[in-house]
Structure 1
Amino acid sequence: MKPLSQFSRAEARAIRAVLTDIDDTVTTEGTLTASAYAALEQLHRAGLLVIPVTGRPAGWCDHIARMWPVDAVVGENGAFYFRYDRQQKKMHQHFWASREERIRNRARLDLIEKEVLGTVPGTALASDQDYRVADLAIDFCEDVPALPESEVDRIVAVFERAGAQAKVSSIHVNGWFGDYNKLSMAKTLLADVFGIDWETAKKSVVFAGDSPNDEPMFAAFPLSVGVANVHAFAHRLTNKPAYITDGHSGEGFAELARMVLDARE
């Protein structure tokens, strides 16, 4: 991981879209700071596409798409994207799986929930679970005392034994049934809504993240950036971000935004 100061000014000037994780990338210790929110707003006002790509639930993503200075949001680790048309006052929703598939998958996830909560002490459902449509989020440190890494691995193993995908974020283990992730839905959104094909995206899109569920994005985007706290998960990442900020969490995201905006002046 190279320091962000080595990011080419020419590459920064070519950036058309900023994709970013939310938890511990834009937020700091669970809080959306003024400086991080301002960075989102400044990027958006400068004419860049701003798209959160998060593990957070559909209920949150409806709010984010409507009220944040963003062009769209990918949620639940790629289960869907939401895009709010402010002129028409209409929310556009695109899901990877049909409603019928999501209902069937929920029944299978309910069985995993019972097994995890019954066999891994100290776990809890994520407090935002009621607002999810496609995945199961197990809290291992957001609203519960932090569990050791060995217990996080036990949670992942339960999902995988049942044939589900499982990704570790900075706060949750998210699991789902389906062949999608953050990257697959981000590529779908960029191509179908904004007309950015993959070859163009590799040169004009930057992604910021901090944890293992961002790894598909780190692996795919040549212009990928980890905020400094990604160091805590470096041992779990086969594919690390190309660059790393000096600042942690929201401060690191604001650092990235300044770099992009400065290159455009």
Structure 2
Amino acid sequence: MRPLSQLPLEAARSVRVVLTDIDDTVTSEGMLTAEAYAALERLHRAGFIVIPVTGRPAGWCDHIARMWPVDAVVGENGAFFFRYDRKQRKMRQRFWASPEEFKRNRARLEAIEKEVLATVPGCALASDQAYRVADLAIDFCEDVPALPEAEVDRIVAIFERAGAQAKVSSIHVNGWFGDYNKLSMAKVLLAEVFGLDWEQARNAVVYAGDSPNDEPMFEAFPLSVGVANIQAFAHRLAHKPAYITAGHSGTGFAELADLLLRARRE
């Protein structure tokens, strides 16, 4: 991971789309700071396509798509995207699976939930679980004392034994049934809404993240950036981001925004 300061301005000038994780990438210690929100707004006003790609639930993503300075949002690690048309005042929703499939999978996830909560002391159901449509989120450090890494791995193993996917974020283990992830739905969104095929997207996108569930994006995009706190997860990543910011969390994201805006000006 090279310092972000080494990213050539010529490469930064090619960026049209900013994809970014939210938790501990845009937010800092659970808070959306004025600095980070202003960075999103400055990018959006400058004409960048700005898209959060998050593990957060559908209920939160409806709010984000409507009220944040963004062009769309991918949620629940790729289960859907939401795009709000401000002129027509209509929300476009695109889901990876049918409502019937999500419903069938919910029963399987409930069985996993019971096993995890019964066998991994100290974890909890994520406080935002009620607003989810597709996945199960287990909290290991957001609203509970941080669990040791071995216990986080136990949670992942329970999901995987049941045949589910499981990804570790900076706060939750998210698990789901289905052959999607952040990258697959981001590809659908970029193609269907913004007319970018995969080769165009690879050369026009920068992705910012901070944890293992961002790994498919780090691998896919040559211009990938980790905020400084990704160092805590570096040992879990086979595919690391190409660059790393000096600042942590939202401050690091603002650092990336400053570089992109400077490249465009110059």
* Superposition TM-score tier, normalisation by shorter sequence: over 0.9
Letter in 2 for 1:84: Y
1:94-173 maps to which residues of 2 (within 5 A)?
94-173=94-173
Cα displacement string for residues 167-200 of structure 1 (whole angstroms, at most 9, x for unaligned residues): 0000000000000000000011001100011111
Q: What residue in structure 1 maps to residue 258 of structure 2?
A: 258
* Whole-angstrom CA distance in 2 between matches of 1:198 and 1:8: 22
* Whole-angstrom CA distance in 2 between matches of 1:184 and 1:223: 17
Q: What residue in structure 2 maps to residue 51 of structure 1?
A: 51
Letter in 2 for 1:11: A
Aligned-pair CA distance for 1:22: 0.1
Q: Are residues 1:26 and 2:26 paired?
A: yes
3-state DSSP class of the match of 1:61? helix
Cα displacement string for residues 113-140 of structure 1 (whole angstroms, at most 9, x for unaligned residues): 0000000000100000000000000000
Letter in 2 for 1:49: I
List gaps (5 residues or longer) in structure 1: none
Between the two proteins, the alignment pairs up a number of residues equal to 265
Cα displacement string for residues 190-238 of structure 1 (whole angstroms, at most 9, x for unaligned residues): 0110001111111110000000000000000000000000000000000
3-state DSSP class of the match of 2:122? coil
Letter in 1 for 2:82: F
Aligned-pair CA distance for 1:8: 1.1
Q: State the TM-score, normalized to the length of structure 1.
A: 1.00
3-state DSSP class of the match of 2:77? coil
3-state DSSP class of the match of 1:189? helix
Cα displacement string for residues 91-132 of structure 1 (whole angstroms, at most 9, x for unaligned residues): 000000000000000000000000000000001000000000
1:111-260 maps to which residues of 2 (within 5 A)?
111-260=111-260
* Whole-angstrom CA distance in 2 between matches of 1:8 and 1:53: 25
3-state DSSP class of the match of 2:207? strand
Q: Are residues 1:15 and 2:7 paired?
A: no
Letter in 2 for 1:208: A
Q: What residue in structure 2 maps to residue 61 of structure 1?
A: 61
Taking only the aligned residue pairs, the percentage that are identical comes to 81
* Whole-angstrom CA distance in 2 between matches of 1:14 and 1:46: 14
Aligned-pair CA distance for 1:14: 1.0
Q: Which aligned segments of 4 or more residues in structure 1 are displaced greater than 4 angstroms?
A: none
Aligned-pair CA distance for 1:241: 0.1
* Whole-angstrom CA distance in 2 between matches of 1:202 and 1:84: 24
* Whole-angstrom CA distance in 2 between matches of 1:175 and 1:208: 22
Kindly report the root-mean-square deviation, in angstroms, between the aligned alpha carbons of the 2 structures.
0.3
3-state DSSP class of the match of 2:18? strand
List gaps (5 residues or longer) in structure 2: none
